[in-house]
Amino acid sequence: MSGQSIIIRADASAKNGGGHVMRCLNLARELEAQGAAVRWACSRETLDIMPAVNNFNPIVVCDTDMQNGTFFDDAQQTAQANRIKEAVQSAGKTIDAVIVDQYFLSAPFQDALKGFAGKIVAIDEKINRRHSADIIVDFIPHAPDEWHKSGHVKPETTLLSGPAYKMLSPLFQEKAKERKRIKATFQTARVKEKRVVITSGAVDGVNLIGRVLKAIASDVTLKKNMRYDIPLFSSAPHIKDIRHAVTTMKSRGFNIHLHENCTTVSDLMKQADLNIGSASAAAFEAGAIGGVAGIYYDCGHMQDKIGRLVVDKSGGFYMGHHSHFGPGLLLNRMRQILDNPSLTSSRQTNSARICDGQGAKRVASRILASLSPQQTQEQTQEQTQVQPQQQPQARHKRFHPFFDKN
């Protein structure tokens, strides 16, 4: 049994989306599955954008996910840490670890929690600010020496780096088995229908989906024998425009469906021939579900590197920054994939090599192992290399009154 008490500090916003919260929700559920008790600390806006956070008895530490468009200053970071400490101490409890996944917090926040939490874990792929964390989780395939040469981490910091640590919902790996079973029927069943999933994070702050729909709607040849599925949160800033676009396209004969607040994106992806959207979690989800060819745009932090990873693995096309969106080029890439079965098949196979969907389990296991007094230095060093075939056993969850909702 783990019995460890963990706080996750992560935000969502209309401007910056919900990707940090989505991946941390996956991690939180895996931590619970392995016996830990999890509570959340976040901005007030997060609770409106991502209601699922309310299930983790949240501590509100600020109003929004950044201060005047940039980093919280040192005093603000310390104040947020103090709010967490006050909430925990008022309940007479202790914390074993704090996990922070927030681009606008750095060493001052972490330093203020030293001695209060047993371990500090930072989820960060940008290498642009100083950390005093004990563990860094970075799903971008940076070489370990990039972090150490940057001077932003301590020499003794444990680095978990690469797509093997991308924290996805376990549903994608589960649905991969279903996709494998139905894939054999694609060649016959899809003669009459091809499926395209259009995704751009939880809230699509840059309205990429709107531009993609406009491009598709302009080409009547993309109407026949096609189905389009769009998962998007109802809190998305452009949701009204998307609803209108979908309704208009339906009236013109397009088989298109908007799935608001969808919690089963894996069910859409398992049947997809093509995924179009931001080079975010979707590129990894497409791999974890068994491989879906993709067309991806840079719509946020570090998505250019994810797009290049897709190209390096030959799992799809990377179209560059969303500000350079060209409808003609998108339509050409769509035809290139959808009208060429051999290319579609190869892109799907290569996409599956990007990510195996085990990242949340790996990260949770490494964090909990680091908290165990039995974990020796030699064991930690041995686990530095990812071993996908040797997954830890799930542990029973222990009742923890502080972390249960009142």
Per DSSP bridges, beta strands 117-123 and 135-138 are parallel
Q: What is the pLDDT of residue 209?
A: 98
Asked if 39 and 94 touch (Cβ cutoff 8 Å), the reply is no
- Regarding pTM above 0.75, the answer is yes
Evaluate whether residue 401 is within a structural domain: no
Both tokens assigned to 217: 């709607």
Residues 136 and 179 in one domain: no
Residues 319 and 377 in one domain: no
CATH code for position 96: 3.40.50.11190
Q: What is the pLDDT of residue 215?
A: 98
Evaluate whether residue 389 is within a structural domain: no
Evaluate whether residue 86 is within a structural domain: yes
Query: For the chain, how big is the Rg over CA atoms in Å?
Result: 21
Q: Any idea which residue has 């991502």 for tokens?
A: 50
Q: How does 340-371 read in b/e, with b if 16+ C-beta sit within 10 Å?
A: eeeebeebbebbbebbbbbbbbbbbbbbbbbb
For the chain (406 residues), the mean pLDDT of every run of 10, in chain order, is: 87 88 96 96 94 96 83 93 96 93 95 96 93 95 80 92 93 88 61 88 94 97 96 95 98 98 91 95 94 96 92 95 98 95 90 94 96 52 38 34 42
Evaluate whether residue 393 is within a structural domain: no
Q: What is the pLDDT of residue 1?
A: 44
Looking at residue 52, its amino acid is A
Residues 55 and 187 in one domain: no
Long-range contact set of residues 127-131: C-beta below 8 Å, sequence gap at least 24: 127/152, 128/152, 129/71, 130/106, 131/106, 131/107, 131/157
Residues 136 and 220 in one domain: no
Domain span at 22: 5-168+357-382
Residues 289 and 197 in one domain: yes
Residues 174 and 289 in one domain: yes
Residues 323 and 186 in one domain: yes
Q: What is the pLDDT of residue 180?
A: 82
Residues 85 and 178 in one domain: no
